[in-house]
């Protein structure tokens, strides 16, 4: 059973940057799309980005597009989310999640989630 562990969350000033990491344990995630989902305090879930197994294809939500990059290291069984030009509204818990679904569609739901890492953007 794979476990996902996020790290890198911190208190950062508006305009700053953070790199979030997600390490997978117990099983390889190299053949899966991997994604990041955010939850603002007391709010719902927001999909942010995901990355294909080959690391070359990536998708971003409009809320973070142009300010974020996602990458993966299949040898280290890990995924990262680099966020720049952070805003107060980026505050929240950031979850890493494994994406699964019907092969060939590139349309996925989330079957394994990490416990999240907290990002606070405040001056």
Partner 1 sequence: IVLTQSPGTLSLSPGERATLSCRASRSISSTYLAWYQQKPGQPPRLLIYDASNRATGIPDRFSGSGSGTDFTLTISRLEPEDFAVYYCQQYSTSRYTFGQGTKLEIK
Chain positions contacting partner 1, by CB under 8 A = 35, 37, 44-47, 59, 61-62, 95, 101-102, 106-111, 113-116
Q: Choose between 25 and 109: whose C-beta lies nearer to partner 1.
A: 109
Minimum separation from the CB atom of position 61 to partner 1 (A): 7
Q: Choose between 47 and 69: whose C-beta lies nearer to partner 1.
A: 47
Q: What is the DSSP letter of 78?
A: E
Minimum separation from the CB atom of position 16 to partner 1 (A): 25
| Sequence-ordered list of residues with C-beta below 8 angstroms from that of 70, at least 6 positions apart, any chain | 36, 49, 50, 51, 58, 60, 79, 80, 81, 82
């Amino acid at each position: 059973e794979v476990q996902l562990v996020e790290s890198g969350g911190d208190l950062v000033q508006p305009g700053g940057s953070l790199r979030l990491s997600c390490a997978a344990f117990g099983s390889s995630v190299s053949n899966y799309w991997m994604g990041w989902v955010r939850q603002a305090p007391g709010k719902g879930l927001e999909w942010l980005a995901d990355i294909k197994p080959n690391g070359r294809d990536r998708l971003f939500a409009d809320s973070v597009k142009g300010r974020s990059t996602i990458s993966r290291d299949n040898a280290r069984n890990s995924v990262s989310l680099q966020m720049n030009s952070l805003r107060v509204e980026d505050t929240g818990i950031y979850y890493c999640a494994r994406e699964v679904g019907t092969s060939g569609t590139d349309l996925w739901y989330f079957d394994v989630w990490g416990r999240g890492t907290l990002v606070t953007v405040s001056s």
